[in-house]
Amino acid sequence: MPETIAIDDPSDPRMEVFRDIRDRDLTGRGGFIAEGTVVLDQLLSSRQFRPTALLVLRNRLAGLSDLLSRVPRGVPIHVAEHEGLDRIAGFPMHRGVLAHGEEEGVRPTPAELTASAAALGRPVVVAVGIANHDNVGAIFRNAAAFGAGAVLLDTPSCHPLYRKAIRVSVGTVLRMPWARAGSGTELLASCREAGYRTIALSPAGGITLREFGSDGPAALFLGAEGRGLSAELLKGMETVRIEMEPEIDSLNVATAAAIVLSGLYANYRQ
Amino acid sequence: MPETIAIDDPSDPRMEVFRDIRDRDLTGRGGFIAEGTVVLDQLLSSRQFRPTALLVLRNRLAGLSDLLSRVPRGVPIHVAEHEGLDRIAGFPMHRGVLAHGEEEGVRPTPAELTASAAALGRPVVVAVGIANHDNVGAIFRNAAAFGAGAVLLDTPSCHPLYRKAIRVSVGTVLRMPWARAGSGTELLASCREAGYRTIALSPAGGITLREFGSDGPAALFLGAEGRGLSAELLKGMETVRIEMEPEIDSLNVATAAAIVLSGLYANYRQ
């Protein structure tokens, strides 16, 4: 078991990065918070991100010894009792472990990511104007499950390192290659440049998923529920419809993405 | 525009059913709260549920006149200013309309629901031990999109009329036939009795979704993420796997359901 530091006083200044994480989530900040063992595992396996400090519930220490042994030397592992941890975090922290992390090195550009994903024959997912934290997290989770090579987000989309997006992604935002830069139009240009077929979902889509086939890797563009993608962006993309009951308005955007990515994955492996 | 009642005092006793709805959500109560226009639309179209009172933001009244004209006579439509509504609800209420609703008549039994869904050749979805409100709501939304004839829930599963489940379901819990009764084993018996093929998802599943085909209506059993379905329940069911990246643990349960239901829907319509 690596060395730990007991935190007896919730106002300890070393706890600053873990303080009131739920409220500060909305304000943006340097670094990010990873919650729970599954996300911590992803963080410890990441090449793009590294932990800077941990905060662990005392009664979870023994069960976490394998994970904690992978924490790099020099990264402090703080330990608190239940009540202290809740007071620091600002809400009941059932997960028992928090890590503060930071990005290392330079984030790749959308053009670099599309080029390397295309070289692997993998689809990419492009989020345009998706501000909802849960949806962005779920899009990452589904993109990872079905082998997407990268996730691209325009700047109006939610930052993937928001606490809730990380949690809903089950930590895949710390493993998947991604970039958040530019506009939908610029991301479309990057995808085309890399040779992608560009597709969007539409209830009035020209073809079904089954008809889409497996011909060349696809860049799947996702717009916000309700508003969707702009007419300008849709112009020249292929539109795919998911067959569903006629009176139904739409699916959740991450769910729709999962259905399409799953179909592409099965087509690709046939 | 139907007659409205101005609420100037947030402590007005007629506001009791709308008070602190977020906190009371966890405690259970008679009736339920429907938020927003999409859910209200479903409530007003429901044969199983009816509104008992509405609370509307004053500046949304004009835009809601079509919906409000469908509110049955005798159901009070209260109107409040923004600040008053937030104080009543206990949090910032962006949606602009709340309805309190109640169930009418007798809820059908699982056996009745499986019999009528089977008669229509529609799949059913069975939730076993799914306690998460968002997941239950999302399962309903996806079941409705892909034409499920009913949703069955065992008693450990979250009640579909919890505020958050209703909201995430975009009101489909007020339109889809459903029952929450008994154990997974009892629900399995009802499905078999009605002639359903019973299937469960498993990463080690015997067949892929594509191989499952369209032979007879299916009852899709869903277990909680992590724990899954019991070995006893799985015994004798067909297991289907969703092909995905080998290092990925699992999908969200409602997302996995959407993928399977979408595949069944497409198979069925071929």
pLDDT in tens, A93-125: 778 899 999 988 888 999 999 999 999 999 999
Pick from B141, B262, B269: which is nearest to A259 by CB?
B262
Q: Give the total residue count for chain B.
A: 270
Chain B: residue whose CA lies nearest to A248: B145
pLDDT in tens, B92-104: 877 889 999 998 8
Q: Which residue has the higher pLDDT, B268 or B56?
A: B56
pLDDT at B116: 96
pLDDT at B146: 95
Handedness of CA B198, B199, B205, B211 (dihedral sign): positive
Cβ-based contacts of A262 with chain B (< 8 Å)? 242-244, 259
List the CATH number of the domain containing A18. Answer: 3.30.1330.30
pLDDT in tens, B33-75: 999 999 999 999 998 999 999 999 999 999 999 999 999 999 9
Same domain, A245 and A124: yes
Residue position matching structure tokens 């379901």: B169
Q: Provide the domain limits for residue B46.
A: 5-103
List the CATH number of the domain containing B252. Answer: 3.40.1280.10
pLDDT at B54: 96
pLDDT at A269: 62
**pLDDT surpassing 50 at residue A26:** no
Q: What is the DSSP letter of A60?
A: G
**pLDDT surpassing 90 at residue B169:** yes
Last residue of a domain, which of B49, B75, B103? B103
Same domain, B94 and B140: no
Distances (CA, A) of A215 to A72, A148, A239, A267: 44, 16, 15, 9
**pLDDT surpassing 70 at residue A24:** no
Distances (CA, A) of A68 to A6, A7, A60, A81, B226: 15, 17, 11, 17, 22
Query: Average per-residue pLDDT in chain B?
Result: 90
Strands B207-208, B178-180: pairing is unpaired
Same domain, A74 and A143: no
Q: What is the DSSP letter of A121?
A: T
Distances (CA, A) of A62 to A1, A30, A57, A73, B201: 8, 31, 10, 19, 33
Distances (CA, A) of A230 to A132, A151, A223, A224, A226: 18, 19, 8, 10, 11
Reading the block at residue A17, the tokens are 């990065």
Same domain, B78 and B174: no
Helix axes B253-269, B133-145, angle to 10 degrees: 10
| H helix or E strand, kind and range, residue B203 | none
Distances (CA, A) of A142 to A89, A110, B252: 29, 19, 9
pLDDT in tens, A130-180: 999 999 999 999 999 999 999 999 999 999 999 899 999 999 999 999 999
- How many beta carbons lie within 10 A of that of residue B138, not counting itself? 27
**Cα angle, residue B173 at apex, residues B97 and B219 outer, rounded to 5°:** 165
Q: What is the DSSP letter of A25?
A: G
Same domain, A116 and A193: yes
Mean pLDDT over residues B245-250, rounded?
81
Mean pLDDT over residues B150-179, rounded?
95
Partner B contacted by A135 (CB < 8 A): no
Task: Give the integer Cα–Cα distance in Å for B141 and A249.
Answer: 10
Same domain, B10 and B69: yes
- How many beta carbons lie within 10 A of that of residue A15, not counting itself? 20
Last residue of a domain, which of B103, B120, B151? B103
Last residue of a domain, which of B76, B103, B130? B103
| Beta-carbon separation of A255 and B138 below 8 A | yes
| Beta-carbon separation of B269 and A243 below 8 A | yes
**ipTM of predicted assembly, 2 dp:** 0.90
Most confident of A95-99, A210-214, B127-131, B232-236: B127-131
pLDDT in tens, B102-134: 988 888 999 999 999 999 999 999 999 999 999
Same domain, B178 and B227: yes
Instruction: Select from B45, B139, B214, B244 the residue whose CB has the most chain A CBs within 10 Å, as the one to mutate to test that interface.
Output: B244
pLDDT at B214: 66
Reading the block at residue A77, the tokens are 């592992």
Same domain, A242 and A126: yes
Same domain, A238 and A192: yes
Pick from B142, B244, B249: which is nearest to A146 by CB?
B244
The DSSP result for B204-241, as a single string, is T-SEEHHHHTTSS-EEEEEEBTTTBS-HHHHTTSEEEE
Cβ–Cβ under 8 Å, residues A157 and A185: no
Distances (CA, A) of B66 to A13, B31, B47, B77: 56, 24, 19, 14
Mean pLDDT over residues B212-234, rounded?
86
pLDDT at A214: 66
Reading the block at residue B187, the tokens are 């629900």
pLDDT tier, B155 (very low <50, low <70, confident <90, very high otherwise): very high
Same domain, A211 and A84: no
Pick from A146, A249, A258: which is nearest to B258 by CB?
A258
**pLDDT surpassing 90 at residue B157:** yes
Task: Give the integer Cα–Cα distance in Å for A256 and B225.
Answer: 20
Q: What one-letter code names the amino acid at B153? A: L
Same domain, B36 and B129: no
pLDDT at A65: 93
Query: Average per-residue pLDDT in chain A?
Result: 90
How many structural domains are present in chain A? 2
Cβ–Cβ under 8 Å, residues A253 and A135: yes
Phi-psi region at B213: left, alpha or beta (left = phi > 0; alpha = psi -120 to 50): left
Mean pLDDT over residues A228-248, rounded?
89
Same domain, B210 and B228: yes
pLDDT at B26: 47
